[in-house]
Amino acid sequence: MKIIHVITSLKKAAGTSVFCAEVCNGLAVAGHDVTIAVVDSTSADCYPLDPRIKLTSISSLLYNFALSTRSARLECDVIHIHALWSPILHKISKLVRANKIPTVWSTHGMTAPWSMRHKWWKKFPAWLLYQKKDLKSAAVIHCTTNLEVEWNHALGLKKCFVAPLGTQLPELHSTNSANRNNHTLLFVGRIYPVKGLTNLIKAWSLCDSQNWKLRIVGPDQAGHKAELEVLIKDMGLCDSVEFVGPRYGKDLSQEYDNCDCLVLPSFTENFGATVVDALAHGKPCIASIFTPWSGLRERECGWWVSNEPEVLASAIYEMITLDDVRRHEMGARGRKLVAEKYTWDAVVKAMVRGYEEVLDGRA
């Protein structure tokens, strides 16, 4: 198949970038002809790509589309568009319709009720003017969970299929768990209100976290870190909470290796890729009920609880009071879950099935 993926950015910090890049890497390895169109195709901060992938700018793709409507049809089997609310993606969608090329659209959690309400004064006009029409014109909408399918159905978007996010199973390394003075609860993600970090810090203040650190890894957005630092100071937590900025590649893998548990207290997540990454490293996880991770409780590899500070604190305290053997057993069960369902190889195969169904007219 010849597939063009369209995304505004391939920056390493974004979950949309990770999904797009890893799927494209897998498609290229499998022998498919893959092109990625981005706003800036020369950015040095891009997620690593397989050398067989062709990288171009969205402006070049728009030019090629414009030419194809006047002459021959642009040679492409499927166009896969990532994320919402971008006028330039709307332009691509219009030209794709004019060229009658099947479109797969990944909503990446952006149709979640919380997300739709957040900055609604910007999104509502865009929804009415173009976004809903663009999504309805797609051959199929890709969702990462059944929960995201429900969000899309509620908005009148019925043609959906599911393929989760994935990870690679890393080699397991020894951790710092033997050092009783250095236990770590890890958060990985954007420092942004939707991630529930305010509730996490309040929960942390309710725990007897002696000999434990809350380590927050990720980029600051909209100045939220400064707000959290004020809260941390007011609650007297400066010695037990630390911000370390974003980490990527081997540095991020080391963060997972060196932690005892991951926490994801978000108010909404279409998937929560950091949970998969932590489980792949053999670590248990605490995730809020606003994430699609009931499997943590069902497979006994973590906690799935409300992100209200008192409830979250109870889960954290239960995790802290477990011995290292119990936490290791939970992490081992989580790693087995990832091996069964969430490797990138499995995700790529699911995406290929989705593309094939589109081309066969079944989607």
Q: Where are the domains of the chain?
A: 2-166+343-360, 176-341
Q: What is the pLDDT of residue 151?
A: 95
**162-207: pLDDT as tens digits:** 999 999 899 887 654 444 567 999 999 999 999 999 999 999 999 9
Least confident among 26-40, 178-192, 244-258, 267-281: 178-192
> What 3-state DSSP class applies to 59?
helix
**Measured CA distances, 42 to 35, 45, 65, 238 (Å):** 14, 9, 21, 40
- Which residues does residue 188 pair with via DSSP β-bridges, in sequence order? 217
Cβ-based neighbours of 54, under 8 Å, separated by 6 or more: 34, 35, 36
**Measured CA distances, 262 to 85, 134, 153, 218 (Å):** 31, 37, 31, 13
- Write down the pTM of the prediction: 0.84
Distance CA 241, CA 252 (A): 18
Greater pLDDT, 33 or 175: 33
- The reply to whether 176-341 shares the fold of 2-166+343-360 is yes
Has domain 176-341 been given CATH number 3.40.50.2000?
yes
Q: Hey, what's the torsion of the CAs at 249, 165, 261, 224, to 10 degrees?
A: 80
Mean pLDDT of the chain: 92
Greater pLDDT, 161 or 361: 161
Burial class (CB in 10 A: 0-12, 13-18, 19+), 349: middle
Q: What is the pLDDT of residue 75?
A: 80
Q: 2-166+343-360 — its CATH code?
A: 3.40.50.2000
Q: Name the nearest CA neighbour of 271 among 166, 152, 344, 141.
A: 166
Cβ proximity of 267 and 306 under 8 Å: no
